[in-house]
Amino acid sequence: AQSVTQLGSHVSVSEGALVLLRCNYSSSVPPYLFWYVQYPNQGLQLLLKYTSAATLVKGINGFEAEFKKSETSFHLTKPSAHMSDAAEYFCAVSKIQGAQKLVFGQGTRLTINP
């Protein structure tokens, strides 16, 4: 079975500050890992994904995440927060083989303070 834990349901940072959203996963098989962003009343947009290539993954909008197998983590970072980054962020895991169903974490709401 696979699961994802996002530490912190709500994170608040100042504009221009570092953004760090934490994600830990559990998987009995090598995983694929994803970060999605959701704006109010909208679907999900893929920020970045880890698919067993480079452990440091760069995504859209200046976000990046590092896969650390020893820590079973896939934390999302951005050096300098922008007001437009305010949204809900979801970490997700899937298996490499099979139906590749996504299992989502509970989400982290990011608030940016001016």
Partner 1 sequence: GAVVSQHPSRVICKSGTSVKIECRSLDFQATTMFWYRQFPKQSLMLMATSNEGSKATYEQGVEKDKFLINHASLTLSTLTVTSAHPEDSSFYICSARLDRNNEQFFGPGTRLTVL
- Residue 63: partners with Cβ closer than 8 Å, 6 or more residues away: 19, 35, 47, 48, 76, 77, 78
Select the span of 12-20, 21-29, 65-73, 105-113 touching partner 1 (CB under 8 A). 105-113
Q: What is the footprint of partner 1 within residues 34-53 (CB under 8 A)? A: 36, 41-46, 49
Whether residue 75 contacts residue 108, with contact meaning beta carbons closer than 8 Å, is answered with no
Binding flag, residue 106, partner 1 (CB under 8 A): yes
CA dist 86 and 105 (Å) reads 18
Whether residue 102 contacts residue 32, with contact meaning beta carbons closer than 8 Å, is answered with no
* Among positions 15, 61, 101, 113, the unique one binding partner 1 when judged by CB under 8 A: 101
Query: Residues in contact with partner 1, total (CB under 8 A)?
Result: 18
Side chain identity, residue 4? V
Whether residue 102 contacts residue 4, with contact meaning beta carbons closer than 8 Å, is answered with no
Binding flag, residue 64, partner 1 (CB under 8 A): no
Select the span of 14-22, 67-75, 76-84, 100-108 touching partner 1 (CB under 8 A). 100-108
Find the shortest distance in angstroms from Cβ 79 to partner 1: 25
Q: Rule CB under 8 A: which residues touch partner 1?
A: 36, 41-46, 49, 90, 99-107
